[in-house]
Structure 1
C-alpha cells in the first residue's frame, strides 16, 4: 500500500498503437489508482495532457494536475548557485566558476 509509481511522460502510455496493450496498461494503472493500492507521480507537457489524458475523464479524475512553470533566468541562477558548493564537495576535483554557471543558464 505504500507504493509510489513515477511515470515520466505518461502520455506515451496512451500513444500505444496496439489496442490490446493499451487497454491492459490503462486497466492496470486505472484500477490500482482507483483502489488506492498505488499512488503515482506523472510528468507530461500541457499539450500532451490535453491530447492524451483529458479525453479519458475516468482516468483524469484520479489525478491532481499541478502545473510547474519553467524557472526564469534569475531563478535558474539562484538554483545553480544554491547547489554549487554541494556538487563541488560531492565530486572531488570539480570547481565551477561563476562565469561557467552563468553561461550554462543562458544556453
Structure 2
C-alpha cells in the first residue's frame, strides 16, 4: 500500500485548479480524490510528527471534499483540506489611470 503525506492545498492560477502538495508530489485535488478512492492512502501531517488519515466525504452542500483531523496542518478548522480563497486587491480607480497617447490627426465623433 502506498502512503502519501499531504502538507497543504493551494490554488494554482496557471492551471486554474486546486492543487494538493506534499513530499515529492503535487497533484490536482480531483486526482487526489480519485487515487484515494482507488486505494492509495493519504495522510495529513500534524503537530508533533503525527499523521491523520484523509478520507473522501461530502460536505453539507453535497460537494466531494477531503476530510481529516482539524489539527492537521493542511486542514482548516472543520478538518477540510481545501485551498484558501483567492483574495484580489481592491480596485482603485487612481491605480487604473494610464496615460493615453493623443493623436491630433484623428477626430472622435460623439
TM-score, structure 2 as length reference: 0.34
Task: Tell me which of the two structures has the higher relative contact order, counting C-alpha pairs closer than 8 angstroms and 6 or more residues apart.
Answer: 1
Structure 1 length-normalised TM: 0.35
More helix by share: 1
Structure with the higher strand share, 1 or 2: 2
